[in-house]
Chain A
Amino acid sequence: MLKMTEIKKVFRTDLVETHALRDFNLHVDEGDFVAVTGPSGSGKTTFLNIAGLLETFEGGSYQLDGEDVSHLNDKQRSQMRNEKIGFIFQSFNLIPDLDLFDNVDVPLRYRGFNAPERRKRIEQSLDLVGLANRMKHLPSQLSGGQQQRVAIARALAGEPRFLLADEPTGNLDSKMANSVMSLLQDINDRGTTIVMVTHDQELARQAKRNIYVRDGKVSELHEVSELPDAVTA
């Protein structure tokens, strides 16, 4: 599903070069649920941005769903994001002036679905996250957990094969975090591949596989059952 080989990413200013990723290698199979952990500044977000085609990279190769993405132009990358990737952000990133229906509708419009098809998908995905009865509410009228559920509904409405979650429970209390995590596991059980970046080791343990990133490299790769105490602490 996702295959990164020797990926490099350097951020440059006039004075400094920062190697955010160095020879980054990762292979994620279809149906996998991978948690990416690591300290601040380790390169987790850069990895997520490159994996989600939000940023370009400078060396190595990246194949997403069997397609080499290194030569895609901006429009093709946008289209691939829209069709194959669902995003869940730490701050939910809902559009405050749009109600839940219109928020979930955003990626579907870019996909070019007709109105009945969009309505069906919006209703189904909001129903899946338990918010079908609040379609006309604004994000500000919901709790943090509910807002993240709407963001998940938005990510799922296009039926992507690959879900990228950036600290999906980072802004939630533990009860809501567990609820969102359980929803992600359900989604994964239905066959959607998930890569989740998180600081939370407890949360990471609920994924099928963990990788630990340090200094822009994958330093450890574990099945959850093999996680050492040092990593999970």
Chain B
Amino acid sequence: MLEIGPIFRALMRNKVGAILIAIQIAITMTIIVNAVFIIYERSQKMQRESGIDEANSFYLSSAGFAESFNAKVSIKEDLAALRQLPGVANAIQINAIPISGGGWSMGLQTQAGAEYDGVGVAVYMVDEHGVDTLDLEIIAGENFSPSDIGWRETAQRLWPDKIIITKSMAEALFPDDPFETAVGKTVFINDTEPMVITGIIDKLQAPWVGWDRVENAMLSPENLNYESTRYFIRAEPGQRDSVMKNVEEFLAESNTGRIIRSMRSIEETRERSYRGDSAMIKILTTVMIILTVVTALGIVGLASFSVNRRKKQIGTRRALGASQGAILRYFMLENFLISSVGVFLGAALTVGLNVLLVNQFDLDPIDWFYIPIGMVILWIVGQLAVFGPAKKAANIAPAIATRTV
């Protein structure tokens, strides 16, 4: 028979230790639940797809320094040669690398005029090989043709008259219409320069992984007549590492008037870009583990102390007819009651801390189901922690009741 009433009344008469443990459980739950929520959000963020073939792609910088270095010629020759190298699926010149942390952004607006707000968009300048090299899928409209590609000079402010945008960007520009209807529509850059949307791609993330519009990107049909530039190369599946080595050697040897540097795979770039999130996850996980262990040890300590202090009581209960199972249940139930106070207090504190985090750090509000899951986990931790001392109590011999010392 459960002894909730007597246990509760006994706890109320001797409550300091129980209250301290309940508070510890509440604080642990508050921190753990919020930490799990943050970890989940960060994990989701880290698992977002960039839209490109990350496993097989890499990039590098080429910087011309010789007086005779001709960027336009060099870029044309480099791209033609790179596309012929064994193991290279395709290659492009590009102004910025997705999820790398650095790039170009502009605003696109549906109506011309400085009085209208634009929608932020990451700009990738690529030629007609861009869609294939980045491994994108055109889901509406069409790719650029070779004749669409122009050369951008270093001080140029004018933009091409065609663009390809992501589906997310189409939905941001024309929220009331199906995304595919954006094809053929005109948008404006630099307030008044018209550009016609000729294609929609399924997905391409911006360079800035922490940007709230990271899915907004556009392809602009341009090569850059810059002495310092980047090449983005997609290797055939499984050949990236060997291709990286070959490409670096080839480019270094093919033109001694420039240097090749900053060669990096997209996988490495992803790791670098999400390093802060990854560190945050590790730190929060460590804090959660430490807190859980400390709380469990606190429960073990209180329960062990309680068992040692009540040995004679336990022996007396055994003498009066309590089975070992009844003694085990008594301590498990006692801990359950203490944990219950802790987890309900913890539920309130969890919401309070989340409100604070939402207001101070712009986090999302916690999903409701985290709280009952957290409660159940803390209940389980409590029951596991108390099981050892409770088992020890159950093994106390009833004969201890007749001992006078």
Given known A55-B399, A78-B318, A102-B6, contact A93–B14 (CB-CB < 8 A)? no
Is A27's beta carbon under 8 Å from chain B? no
A residues 161-183 with Cβ under 8 Å of B? 166
Q: Are B9 and A98 in contact (CB under 8 A)?
A: yes
Which B residues touch A138, using CB under 8 A? 13
Chain A neighbourhood of B317, CB < 8 A: 95, 106, 110
Q: Distance in Å from the Cβ of A51 to the closest Cβ of chain B?
A: 11
CB closest chain-A residue, reference B323: A78
Complexed CA–CA distance, A22 and B393 (Å): 31
- Looking at A79-87, A124-132, A204-212, the stretch in contact with chain B turns out to be A79-87
By a CB distance below 8 angstroms, the chain A residues around B13 are 97, 138
**Which residues of chain A (78-113) have a CB below 8 Å from chain B?**
78-79, 81-83, 87, 89-91, 93, 95, 97-99, 102, 105-107, 109-112
Enumerate chain B residues within 8 angstroms of A91, measured Cβ to Cβ: 312, 404
Interface string of B46-58 (1 = CB under 8 A from A): 0000000000000
B residues near A48, Cβ cutoff 8 Å: 402
The answer to whether A81 touches B404, judged by C-beta atoms less than 8 angstroms apart, is: no
Q: A48-B402, A49-B399, A54-B398 are in contact. Are A98 and B10 (CB under 8 A)?
A: yes
| A190 at interface, CB cutoff 8 A | no
* Contact A81:B313 (CB < 8 A) given known A49-B402, A75-B325, A98-B6: no
Near A by CB (< 8 A), chain B positions 293-313 give: 312-313
Measured in the bound complex, the distance between the Cα atoms of B322 and A53 in whole Å is 13
Query: Are the CB atoms of A93 and B322 closer together than 8 Å?
Result: no
A52 at the interface (CB under 8 A from B): yes
Known A91-B404, A98-B10; judge A74-B399 contact (CB<8 A): no
B269 contacts chain A at the CB level, 8 A cutoff: no
Q: Mark B374-402, 1 if CB is under 8 A from A, else 0.
A: 00000000000000000000000111011
The answer to whether B320 has its CB under 8 Å from any CB of chain A is: yes
Given contacts A97-B14, A98-B10, contact A81 B320 (CB under 8 A): yes
Give the nearest-CB partner of A49 in chain B. Answer: B399
Residue of A nearest to B310 (CB): A95
Count of A residues near B, CB < 8 Å?
35
A45 at the interface (CB under 8 A from B): yes
| A76 to B: closest C-beta gap in Å | 9
Closest to A93 in B: B316
Size range of the interface on B?
A: 20 to 34
Tell me if A154 is interfacial: C-beta within 8 Å of chain B: yes
Quick one: closest B residue to A75, CB to CB? B323
CB distance A105 to B6 under 8 Å?
yes
B324 in the interface, Cβ–Cβ < 8 Å? yes
**Contact for A79 among B3, B9, B321, B401, CB less than 8 A:** B321
CB proximity of B18 to chain A, nearest CB, Å: 11
| B residues 317-346 touching A (CB-CB < 8 Å) | 317-326
List the A side residues contacting B324 at CB < 8 Å.
74-75, 78
Residues of A within 8 A of B3 (CB): 109
Q: Which of B312, B313, B320 contacts A110 (CB 8 A)?
A: B320
In the bound complex, residues from chain B placing their C-beta under 8 Å from that of A102 are 5-6, 9-10
Shortest Cβ distance from residue A86 to the other chain B in the assembled complex, whole angstroms = 9
Find A82's partner among B6, B320, B404 (CB 8 Å cutoff).
B320
In the bound complex, what is the Cα–Cα distance between A111 and B317 (angstroms)?
A: 12
What residues on A are CB-neighbors of B279 within 8 Å? none
- Complex formed: what's the CA distance from A90 to B312 in Å? 13
Report chain B residues within 8 Å CB of A53: 398
CA distance A111 to B323 in the complex (A): 11
User: Which residues of chain A from 27 to 71 have any CB-CB distance to chain B below 8 Å in the complex?
Assistant: 45, 48-49, 52-55
> Does B73 make an interface contact (CB < 8 A)?
no
Residues of the B chain whose Cβ atoms lie less than 8 Å from the Cβ of A109: 1, 3, 6
Complex-state Cα separation, A112 to B322, whole angstroms: 11
- Nearest CB in chain B: distance from A49 CB, A: 5
Q: How far is the CB of A23 from chain B (nearest CB, A)?
A: 21
In the bound complex, CA of A98 to CA of B317 (Å): 13
> Which of B9, B323, B325, B397 is in CB contact (< 8 Å) with A54?
B397
Cβ contacts under 8 Å, A54 to chain B:
318-319, 397-399, 401-402
- On chain A, the residues within 8 Å of B321 by CB distance are 78-79, 81-83, 107, 110-111, 158
Residue of A nearest to B321 (CB): A82
Nearest CB in chain A to that of B322: its residue = A110
Say yes or no: A89-B401 contact (C-beta < 8 A), given A52-B319, A74-B324. yes
Could you tell me the distance between the alpha carbons of A158 and B323 in the complex, rounded to whole angstroms?
16
- Report the separation of the CA atoms of residues A74 and B318 in the bound assembly, to the nearest whole angstrom: 10
Is the pair B10, A97 in contact by a Cβ cutoff of 8 Å? yes
Q: A91-B312, A110-B326 are known contacts; what are 13 more A-B pairs with Cβ within 8 Å?
A: A52-B402, A54-B319, A54-B401, A74-B323, A78-B322, A78-B326, A81-B319, A82-B320, A105-B6, A107-B321, A109-B1, A109-B3, A112-B1
Q: Would you give 8 A-B contacts (Cβ < 8 Å), ordered by A?
A: A79-B323, A81-B319, A89-B401, A93-B401, A106-B6, A109-B1, A109-B6, A158-B321
